[in-house]
Amino acid sequence: MSNTLGQAIKLTVFGESHGPYIGGVIDGLPPGLRIDTDYIAAEMAKRRSVAALSTPRREADVPQFISGVRAGFTEGTPLAFLIANSNTRSSDYDKLRGLARPGHADYTAHIRYDGYEDARGGGHFSGRLTAVIVAAGAILRQALESKGILIGSHIADLAGIKDDPLNSEEPAADIRRLNSMDFAVLDENAAAEMQERILKAREASDSVGGVLETWITGLDAGIGEPLFDSFESELSKAVFSIGGVKGIEFGSGFEMAHMQGSEANDEFAMKDGRVITLTNHNGGINGGITNGMPVVFRTVIKPTPSIAKAQRTVNYINAEEARIEITGRHDPAIIHRARAVVDAAAALVTADLICRQHGSRWLV
């Protein structure tokens, strides 16, 4: 089914923006995995708003564990958790009834669910549900870290403002630094400029998009499956489940359209007895399987569709053209928050692919 990700490690997500809780069930976790609630809380915080930049809707977002955890360790049975939806203001949405917010799923969900969908705040299609992905991902991400596998992202491009690249020879320090930041940008000047750009978008009742670049380091060669469950296939499937993502590329990605084979091919060499590649245009993946180099991918996050500017739209209940002004609390950019979700999705997929080969006890 659609709301479940993974095979060896399976996450099922449920909930709506304005219901009492959203939540998840993770099946397939090994017994004896440490659950560090501080670590999870830190990830949840990254997904929440950054002062001044984002929506004032702030939720504690502490996952409440219902099953599968005792005394700080997984039991191996399904781990279920809830995250309370406090602070929902349904009235914000009442006046939007029947109006399709451009760039949102209101209209498509209405058709898909025959009018029975919970339209308030995007319902099941709300970005709110990414909190479940972040909570689940944090559990796996910590497990991967304990095995030397690091995951981290930076905002490589926000509305044209670029961050410095990571140190490709020694990315671990940069990744750790990014993971300690609320606004994941290496270059302080770029960070300041980006934040200014976001505030400017807010003033203009508009929003901005950007590109996240994500790194996974410490992966052994040989992870991934052939054909339909390649590392790229599984990762892209997970990442496209995040609202606002409209593209993903690995390594040099779309630039490869303008490269020649002799440039794009990553030549192999030996270093300290290990096989490496001299470049990493293929983003650490050959034939869908990791080659031991860092996995690098970029995700484009579209500008937040909720903008205060008046827009043309339709009322899909009475099939009439209409105008819409979205007044509620909304982010002029979500990329700095989406980063926590992309990292979490990467953790879930990486852990799943490793456990498919080696069994889930590999994580412990």
Judged by CB under 8 A, does residue 1 bind a copy of itself?
A: yes
Residue type, 51: A
Could you tell me the smallest distance in angstroms from the CB atom of residue 173 to a copy of itself?
26
Which is it for the CA torsion 59, 126, 212, 227, positive or negative? positive
**Token pair listed for 241:** 């489940």
Identify which range of 38-46, 140-148, 174-182, 301-309 contacts a copy of itself by CB under 8 A: 301-309
DSSP string, 34-64: B--HHHHHHHHHHHS--TTTS-S------PE
Minimum CB distance to a copy of itself smaller for 95 or for 309:
309
Could you tell me the smallest distance in angstroms from the CB atom of residue 119 to a copy of itself?
10
Contacts of 112 (CB under 8 A, 6+ apart): none
Residue numbers 18-77 binding a copy of itself by CB under 8 A? 19-23, 25, 27-28, 30-32, 66-68, 70, 73-77
Could you tell me the smallest distance in angstroms from the CB atom of residue 129 to a copy of itself?
7
Identify which range of 55-63, 90-98, 175-183, 244-252 contacts a copy of itself by CB under 8 A: 244-252
Identify which range of 44-52, 117-125, 142-150, 175-183 contacts a copy of itself by CB under 8 A: 117-125
Identify which range of 88-96, 116-124, 177-185, 336-344 contacts a copy of itself by CB under 8 A: 116-124
In the list 181, 187, 230, 328, the residue contacting a copy of itself (rule: CB under 8 A) is 230
Residue numbers 161-200 binding a copy of itself by CB under 8 A? none
Contact indicator for 213, 181 with CB cutoff of 8 Å: no
In the list 201, 216, 342, 344, the residue contacting a copy of itself (rule: CB under 8 A) is 201
Residue numbers 252-291 binding a copy of itself by CB under 8 A? 252-254, 256-270, 273, 275, 277-278, 281-283, 285-291
Contact indicator for 244, 304 with CB cutoff of 8 Å: yes
* CA 55, chain centre distance (Å): 18
Contact indicator for 17, 88 with CB cutoff of 8 Å: yes
Could you tell me the smallest distance in angstroms from the CB atom of residue 41 to a copy of itself?
20
Judged by CB under 8 A, does residue 358 bind a copy of itself?
A: yes
Identify which range of 39-47, 119-127, 137-145, 188-196 contacts a copy of itself by CB under 8 A: 119-127
Dihedrals φ, ψ of 174, to 5°? Answer: -60, -45
Q: Which residue has the tokens 């599984």?
A: 234
Around Cβ 271, how many Cβ atoms within 10 Å? Answer: 9
Residue 251 CA: distances (Å) to CA of 237, 279, 299, 350? 17, 10, 11, 17
* CA 287, chain centre distance (Å): 24
Separation CA 91–CA 83 (nearest Å)? 21
Residue numbers 92-111 binding a copy of itself by CB under 8 A? 100, 102-105, 107-109, 111
In the list 131, 175, 245, 363, the residue contacting a copy of itself (rule: CB under 8 A) is 245
In the list 78, 172, 177, 199, the residue contacting a copy of itself (rule: CB under 8 A) is 78
